[in-house]
């Protein structure tokens, strides 16, 4: 299948009663990073700032044509997210916005018409701005109820047509880009670790209650968590490096450990003691976490990571998290390591740890494309990346016995990059004629990788086998 998210795909930020959302205040350019990591107040941005998410690639209005392309590509499922502020513009209305529900109903009906299974992310780097301003977003417990009201509206309306739900995209991103991940701005007098873990606790309780609610309202539904995955390797076999990798991996697995196993891991309790982090919890929170674990574990995988205990050496790029440069790997144009075997390793780690079905809901290569005079992109580099990763996934299933329920390529169609805000960092198998400032025709043109992926799906991966 293929994946997108409302915040980077839809645009139409002020259509049909949608309220202002987190993504609408994340600018392009030099202030982007500081706004995303919660250290720069978006209200102080210069007036002329450009906000790429407001237009994105206009997936909101173009959904019918885009779904036809998805069908032509042969996709069996489509992972997309719902924009929370299209349903509850300020997050606190007593009734959901009918226009918003209606839009997603049309999308789901269109998908079902073509036999494409919808996989819905309830919250993908998204929250109504009003909840950020009033409550400080997930810092406050009040937001749990707002989220659950939003979930209830979705489950009631779409529960009969949608089987797979994901509660939060890359829940661990909150620790690295708190504003983009969860709408959290850090004030000077706050203990950042405490604020982030408190917000995480609220999201984890909200996620568990959403699992419970989905199971009650839509029997048979499958609800998953979602992790920005990619194992952290030790830089060397020095036990100190190995230990550093254990600790780094725990920073991420903290989230899934709770969502899958239902309790705070012992290492986290010790960390909280050491760092003087005191979480405010309600009496039955731990019971809620215990009783409402997820049905599957979904993940994004772009690259593996690496750590050196001495903190020396060159740093590497990658999906947000700081990492040491791995000398055995080559990198993408944005400096993200390319490591297909790392996908097999990560899938095995997750499956060994949890024994739950896994779902790769993001994987892809961000690269610069140069269309020819007809707009066609010959993207062998993307084919190479995807094919090596699909092969690694096949190995995990066929040679290791990992229970994998799906794979959706990230940005099957070009969209705005989450971290850089650029259009020119393209992931798609369909080119969208728009530049970094939203200029262009918006025309969709299948790339070479489109025809390649169609063949992969049609042959269920057999065309990638060595003897094919």
Nearer to ligand BGP, 135 or 301 (CB): 301
Nearer to ligand BGP, 135 or 410 (CB): 410
CB of 93 to ligand BGP, least distance (A): 27
What letter would DSSP give residue 259?
I
The secondary structure of 1-16 as a DSSP string is: -EE--HHHHT--TTST
The C-alpha atoms of residue 329 and residue 464 are separated, in whole angstroms, by 22
Does 319 bind ligand BGP (CB under 6 A)? Our answer is yes
Does 176 bind ligand BGP (CB under 6 A)? Our answer is no
Among 127, 289, 418, 434, contact with ligand BGP (rule: CB under 6 A): 418
Does 177 bind ligand BGP (CB under 6 A)? Our answer is no
Half-sphere exposure of residue 142, counting CA atoms within 13 Å on the CB side? 11
Please pick, among 10, 170, 203, 422, the residue that the annotation labels catalytic: 170
Question: Residue 2's beta-bridge partner residues?
Answer: 78, 409
170 is catalytic: yes
Nearer to ligand BGP, 207 or 417 (CB): 417
Q: Which stretch binds ligand BGP (CB under 6 A): 14-22, 385-393, 419-427, 440-448?
A: 419-427
Does 159 bind ligand BGP (CB under 6 A)? Our answer is no
- H or E element, residue 149: helix 142-158
Nearer to ligand BGP, 97 or 332 (CB): 332
Nearer to ligand BGP, 13 or 264 (CB): 13
The C-alpha atoms of residue 49 and residue 34 are separated, in whole angstroms, by 14
Nearer to ligand BGP, 304 or 319 (CB): 319
Does 432 bind ligand BGP (CB under 6 A)? Our answer is no
The C-alpha atoms of residue 302 and residue 419 are separated, in whole angstroms, by 13
CB of 33 to ligand BGP, least distance (A): 11
Among 198, 332, 417, 449, contact with ligand BGP (rule: CB under 6 A): 417
287 is catalytic: no
Site for ligand BGP in 216-255 (CB under 6 A): 228
Site for ligand BGP in 1-40 (CB under 6 A): 5, 8
Nearer to ligand BGP, 97 or 172 (CB): 172
CA distances from 414 to 70, 122, 154, 417 (A): 13, 21, 27, 9
The C-alpha atoms of residue 162 and residue 185 are separated, in whole angstroms, by 34
Phi and psi dihedrals of 154, rounded to 5?
-70, -45
Among 410, 431, 450, 453, contact with ligand BGP (rule: CB under 6 A): 410
Nearer to ligand BGP, 23 or 223 (CB): 23
The C-alpha atoms of residue 87 and residue 105 are separated, in whole angstroms, by 12
The C-alpha atoms of residue 22 and residue 7 are separated, in whole angstroms, by 9
The C-alpha atoms of residue 248 and residue 311 are separated, in whole angstroms, by 13
Nearest to 222 by CA among 180, 166, 261, 183: 166
CB of 125 to ligand BGP, least distance (A): 6
Is residue 294 within 8 A of residue 260, CB to CB? The reply is yes
Among 126, 203, 241, 362, contact with ligand BGP (rule: CB under 6 A): 362
Please pick, among 110, 203, 362, 422, the residue that the annotation labels catalytic: 362
Site for ligand BGP in 42-61 (CB under 6 A): none
Among 20, 62, 137, 169, contact with ligand BGP (rule: CB under 6 A): 169
365's CB contacts (< 8 A; 6+ apart) are 332, 338, 381, 382, 385, 386, 427
Please tell me the total number of residues recorded for the chain in this structure. 468
The C-alpha atoms of residue 304 and residue 242 are separated, in whole angstroms, by 15
Helix axes 192-217, 142-158, angle to 10 degrees: 30
CB of 210 to ligand BGP, least distance (A): 18
Residues making contact with ligand BGP (CB under 6 A): 5, 8, 169-170, 228, 300, 319, 362, 366, 410, 417-420, 425
Just list the catalytic residues: 170, 362
């Amino acid at each position: 299948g293929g994946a997108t998210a409302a915040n980077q795909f839809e645009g139409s930020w002020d259509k049909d009663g949608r309220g202002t959302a987190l993504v609408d205040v994340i600018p392009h350019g030099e202030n982007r990073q500081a706004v995303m990591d919660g250290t720069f107040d978006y209200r102080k941005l210069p007036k002329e700032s450009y906000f790429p998410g407001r237009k994105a690639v206009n997936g909101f209005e173009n959904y019918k044509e885009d779904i036809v392309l998805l069908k032509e590509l042969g996709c069996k499922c489509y992972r997309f997210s719902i924009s929370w502020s299209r349903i509850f513009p300020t997050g606190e209305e007593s009734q959901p916005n009918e226009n918003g529900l209606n839009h997603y109903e049309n999308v789901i009906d269109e998908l079902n018409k073509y036999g494409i299974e919808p996989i819905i992310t309830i919250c993908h780097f998204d929250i109504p701005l009003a909840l950020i301003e009033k409550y400080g977003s997930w810092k406050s417990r009040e937001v749990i109820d707002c989220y659950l009201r939003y979930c209830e509206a979705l489950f009631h309306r779409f529960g009969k047509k949608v089987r797979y739900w994901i509660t939060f995209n890359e829940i661990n991103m909150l620790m690295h880009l708190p504003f983009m991940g969860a709408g959290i701005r850090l004030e000077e007098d706050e203990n950042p670790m405490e604020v982030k873990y408190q917000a995480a606790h609220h999201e984890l309780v909200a996620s568990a209650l959403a699992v419970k609610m989905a199971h009650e309202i839509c029997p048979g539904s499958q609800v998953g968590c979602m992790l920005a995955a990619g194992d952290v390797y030790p830089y060397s076999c020095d036990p100190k490096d190995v230990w550093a990798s254990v600790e780094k991996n725990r920073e991420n697995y903290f989230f899934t450990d709770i969502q899958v196993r239902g309790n705070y891991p012992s290492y986290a309790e010790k960390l909280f003691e050491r760092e003087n982090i005191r979480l405010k919890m309600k009496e039955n929170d731990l019971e809620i976490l215990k009783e409402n674990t997820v049905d599957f574990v979904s993940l994004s995988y772009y690259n593996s990571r690496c750590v050196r205990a001495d903190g020396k050496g060159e740093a590497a790029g990658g999906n947000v998290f700081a990492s040491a440069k791995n000398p055995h790997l080559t990198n993408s144009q944005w400096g993200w390591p390319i490591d297909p075997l790392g996908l097999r390793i990560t899938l095995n780690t997750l499956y060994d740890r949890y024994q739950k079905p896994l779902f790769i809901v993001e994987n892809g290569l961000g690269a610069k494309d140069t269309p020819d005079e007809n707009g066609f992109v010959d993207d062998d580099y993307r084919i190479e990346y995807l094919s090596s990763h699909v092969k690694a996934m096949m190995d995990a299933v066929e040679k290791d016995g990992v229970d994998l329920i799906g794979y959706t390529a990230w940005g099957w169609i070009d969209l705005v990059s989450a971290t850089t805000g650029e259009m020119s960092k393209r992931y798609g198998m369909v080119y969208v004629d728009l530049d970094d400032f939203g200029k262009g025709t918006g025309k969709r043109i299948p790339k070479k990788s489109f025809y390649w992926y169609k063949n992969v799906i049609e042959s269920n991966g057999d065309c990638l086998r060595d003897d094919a």
